[in-house]
Amino acid sequence: MMTATLEHLPAVADSEEAPATRSIDLEFSSAREVHAGLEEAVSELIEVAAKDAGCGILVTRLHPGRYTVALDQSVPFGETYEAIAA
């Protein structure tokens, strides 16, 4: 079973569009779910990053089975980096 939590930016009063997803928290109960789940989350954020063109994507392993996929300004546009939380 996979659990995902989407974090959204606060809505801007003048904006007619819904706020874009900036990060996705994922938790997996089996190893075979990890690859597909992370790939889906990265694909979703690629669409958001392409509209802004100001940052790349950082995938962080928080602990076994728990990940965060987020837009990150320290990652160049068009690239995806991986990190392991200390």
The answer to the question of residue 12 being in a domain is no
The answer to the question of residue 26 being in a domain is yes
The answer to the question of residue 14 being in a domain is no
Domain total of the chain? 1
The answer to the question of residue 36 being in a domain is yes
The answer to the question of residue 38 being in a domain is yes
Domain range spanning residue 61?
A: 2-6+21-84
In order of 62, 69, 86, the CA distances from 8 in angstroms are 20, 13, 25
For every one of its 86 residues, what pLDDT tens digit does the chain have, with 9 covering 90 and above? 455 544 444 334 344 455 567 999 999 999 899 999 999 999 999 999 998 788 999 999 999 999 999 999 999 999 999 999 96
